[in-house]
Structure 1
Amino acid sequence: MIVIRDVQDRFHGFLSSVMLEVAPNIFVSPRMNPGVRERVWQVMTDWYGNLPQGSAVMIWRDVNAVGGVGLAHLGDPPRELFEADGMWLVRRRVSSTQKAP
């Protein structure tokens, strides 16, 4: 699944060509293999490097990751999954220039 927000129109067109848009700006492809997923994300990363506007998050099944969910981001604020007391939580990643809340 990929969710986009406030990105250039080319992202929307590209994702529509390789995934199903189930709601505005929410794209899914349940049978996308890892190679295709990595290529799609690489295209988006390259474009975002030239057009850094908005954000995108990609979520996929990853049995080796916290909660069994892989997570990739473009834009702010980046988030990460972590486990605390047997629960899976999401937190904003703090950069070295920011102070933790």
Structure 2
Amino acid sequence: MALVTIVIRDVADRFHGFLSSVMLEVATNVFVSPRMNQRARERIWSVMSEWHRHEPRGSVVMVWRDLNAVGGIGIANLGEPSRELIEADGMWLVRRRAAAPNIAL
């Protein structure tokens, strides 16, 4: 069992309610569980994935300890995250996504 963290941004209210029922909200829209097993983590992600498929707005990012993944961190996301993760030499680098240019007509 490992620490799991989920961050939500601009999603439907039911995501917040659901996560509040299974995890601790340590800051606004930041949820943690200190000892969540893989089966529970996958079930929670399955529910949120299904909801996001039907109402694709906002984003959800989940991170957990995964010794077989790059940098020992498992990462999953739904929607468009505000950051882009790039694998380089066995670790993750983070880059802000470029904003779309404003074009005046």
| TM-score, normalization by structure 1 | 0.82
User: Aligned residue pairs: how many?
Assistant: 92
Give the secondary structure class of the aligned counterpart of 2:49: helix
For the pair 1:82 / 2:87, whether they are aligned, the reply is yes
**Shift of residue 91 of structure 1?**
4.8
Superposition pairs of residues 10-89 of structure 1, within 5 angstroms: 10-77=14-81, 79-84=84-89, 88-89=92-93
In structure 2, distance between residues paired with 1:82 and 1:29: 26
**Shift of residue 82 of structure 1?**
1.3
For the pair 1:7 / 2:26, whether they are aligned, the reply is no
* Structure 2 stretches lacking a partner, 5+ long: 98-105
**Cα RMSD, aligned residues only:** 2.0
Kindly indicate whether the alpha-carbon contact (under 8 Å) linking 2:70 and 2:91 is maintained by their aligned counterparts in 1: no
In structure 2, distance between residues paired with 1:53 and 1:24: 18
Higher-Rg member (1/2) = 2
Identity score, percent: 67
Higher relative contact order (CA 8 A, sep 6+): 2
Q: From the superposition, tell whether residues 65 and 45 of structure 1 become closer, same or farther in structure 2 (CA, over 3 Å).
A: same
**Shift of residue 88 of structure 1?**
3.5
Q: String of CA shifts for 1:26-46, please: whole Å, max 9, x gaps.
A: 000010000000000000000
* Structure 1 stretches lacking a partner, 5+ long: 94-101
Kindly indicate whether the alpha-carbon contact (under 8 Å) linking 1:66 and 1:81 is maintained by their aligned counterparts in 2: no
| TM-score, normalization by structure 2 | 0.79
